[in-house]
């Protein structure tokens, strides 16, 4: 330790004097050389030949590789390549029985308790039913797809939990706080009518597993903030997310934001939803070279949602004019919603291209359904969105097709009319893609995938439970779509990375000292 400290001081002296035209040289000593061994032996009486790695041995190379990985992660600002929930990275889908949302098992607290939470890229907060006053039923008897009861969280039963005080930066002091030491409350309102979750904010441990390129998997306990959801309303009492929601939005309180801020991962995550309604989620995933990308857009100067710009929309071989719009990418919404004028253009063009007779079906929520028993729809079965720089996003299956009865087969265009002037791209357009929410570079990426070829599968990431019978029928009502136009009272705004300014051409001695301090820190930790 003293040896490295002296080396850093000498290096600092040389750099500072170098600024006034002096020259300094120093002998470099390899961390596992005989000279380094002699230094360590003089400091530690019990250092033996057996404990020192032999040059070019497997242990020697393993230690060097470990040092390389440590330095690389320090430079990248993250400790792990990827993280995923301790019960596996696989997402689950249960059809209508659980409101056609995608779910994943997570473990929270000490001792850990398992929760089946819905994944929602359109909101920020992770909440679970907790010390319930008004919550959805948690018994498996209420849900056809479940073969075990769901859980309720209680902070008093977790040794690692603590109430978030009103003085915390992620609590809005104007939100019913009478004093800075008082527990912080939240009231999160969602887009669906009268749908909300309210309670107290808690800090506790989220149990994760790491996937590393060159090392074995390990367990990680990450400090996160979650909502102790004492009261739920609306859709959350009617079968949507009965065991909680994991908000994946860009806000400071979301799980991806907290993991990145703690230096555990790069500020990015991926979701893959395949055509069979299962998928994967990986925290820290920034994609690969084959991805296409389009930038996220700020709304009123702020990045509080994953909004992209669509320049045009094509149906079959026909590309519509004046169909540019802004769209929220939202994995928590079952269908795709278009602004009124865009919706009218799209359904009008779609209707022109369909030769089958249009029919009115009360059991489905869509307006454009057809009897296709004796017709082919290959010419209009493909939709395409065009983003900036001519990046294309092909919709793998914009239609819902099913035998309505023994007499005929129906198909419906699964696009809905939005209430607002922005669009929402939901699950029906997102299936079949490995999607990258690259918050560090403020962009959305995608590439076609069956969700079995991403990095998580190499680590044998599997779901711990195979319960449920996925129902291919979509929900007959609009799902819970978070209101991205208002920030819930308990939360601070999202903190996205800003581009670093270029350093000045001339550097003073103090800048050299700062650089040396960083280099010495890297040397110290690595070795």
Confirm if 410 and 399 have CB atoms less than 8 A apart.
no
120 given a catalytic annotation: yes
Instruction: Identify the residue whose tokens are 């269908």.
Output: 335
- Rounded CA-CA distance 199/202 in Å is 10
- Rounded CA-CA distance 277/263 in Å is 32
**161-167 LR contacts (CB < 8 Å, sep 24+):** 161/109, 161/202, 161/203, 161/204, 162/202, 162/203, 162/204, 163/200, 163/201, 163/202, 163/203, 164/200, 164/201, 164/202, 164/203, 164/225
Element (H, E) at 464: none
Confirm if 248 and 331 have CB atoms less than 8 A apart.
yes
Q: Which of 120, 124, 235, 267 is catalytic?
A: 120
Taking the mean position of all CA atoms in its chain, how far away is CA 316? 32
Instruction: Identify the residue whose tokens are 């994953």.
Output: 306
34 given a catalytic annotation: no
Task: State the CB neighbour count (10 A cutoff) for residue 363.
Answer: 9
- Rounded CA-CA distance 248/225 in Å is 13
Catalytic machinery residues: 120, 330
């Amino acid at each position: 330790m003293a040896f490295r400290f002296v080396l850093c001081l000498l290096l600092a002296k040389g750099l500072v004097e170098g600024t006034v035209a002096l020259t300094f040289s120093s002998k470099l000593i390899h961390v596992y050389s005989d000279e380094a061994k002699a230094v360590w032996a003089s400091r530690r009486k019990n250092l033996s030949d057996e404990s020192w790695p032999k040059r070019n041995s497997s242990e020697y190379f393993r230690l060097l590789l470990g040092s390389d990985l440590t330095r690389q992660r320090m430079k990248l600002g993250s400790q792990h390549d990827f993280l995923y929930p301790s019960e596996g990275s696989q997402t689950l889908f249960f059809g209508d029985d659980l409101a056609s949302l995608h779910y994943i098992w997570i473990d929270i607290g000490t001792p850990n308790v398992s929760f089946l939470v819905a994944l929602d890229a359109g909101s920020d907060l992770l909440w679970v039913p907790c010390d319930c006053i008004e919550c959805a039923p948690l018994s498996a008897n209420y849900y056809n797809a479940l073969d075990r009861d769901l859980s309720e969280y209680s902070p008093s039963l977790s040794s690692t939990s603590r109430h978030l005080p009103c003085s915390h930066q992620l609590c809005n002091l104007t939100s019913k706080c009478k004093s800075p030491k008082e527990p912080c409350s939240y009231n999160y309102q969602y887009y669906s009518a009268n749908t909300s979750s309210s309670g107290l904010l808690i800090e506790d441990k989220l149990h994760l597993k790491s996937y590393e390129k060159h090392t074995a998997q390990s367990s990680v306990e990450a400090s996160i903030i979650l909502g102790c959801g004492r009261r739920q309303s609306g859709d959350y009492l009617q079968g949507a997310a009965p065991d909680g929601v994991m908000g994946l939005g860009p806000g400071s309180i979301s799980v991806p934001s907290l993991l990145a801020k703690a230096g555990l991962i790069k500020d990015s995550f991926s979701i893959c939803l395949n055509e069979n309604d299962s998928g994967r989620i990986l925290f820290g995933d920034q994609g690969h070279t084959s991805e296409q990308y389009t930038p996220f857009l700020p709304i009123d100067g702020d990045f509080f949602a994953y909004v992209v710009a669509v320049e045009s929309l094509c149906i079959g071989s026909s590309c519509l004019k004046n169909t540019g719009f802004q769209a929220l990418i939202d994995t928590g919404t079952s269908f795709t919603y278009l602004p009124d004028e865009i919706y009218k253009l799209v359904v009008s063009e779609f209707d022109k291209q369909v030769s089958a007779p249009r029919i009115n079906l009360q059991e489905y929520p869509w307006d454009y359904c057809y009897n296709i028993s004796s017709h082919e729809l290959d010419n209009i079965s493909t939709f395409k969105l065009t983003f900036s720089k001519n990046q294309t996003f092909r919709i793998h299956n914009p239609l819902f097709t099913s035998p309505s009865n023994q007499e005929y087969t129906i198909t419906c265009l699964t696009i809905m009319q939005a209430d607002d002037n922005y669009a929402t791209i939901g699950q029906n357009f997102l299936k079949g893609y490995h999607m990258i929410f690259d918050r560090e570079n403020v962009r959305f990426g995608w590439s076609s995938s069956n969700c079995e070829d991403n990095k998580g599968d190499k680590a044998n990431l599997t779901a711990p439970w195979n319960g449920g019978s996925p129902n291919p029928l979509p929900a007959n009502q609009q799902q819970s779509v978070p209101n991205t136009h208002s920030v819930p009272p308990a939360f601070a705004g999202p903190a996205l990375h800003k581009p670093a300014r270029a350093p000045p051409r001339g550097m003073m001695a103090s800048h050299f000292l700062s650089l040396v301090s960083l280099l010495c820190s890297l040397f110290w930790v690595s070795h």
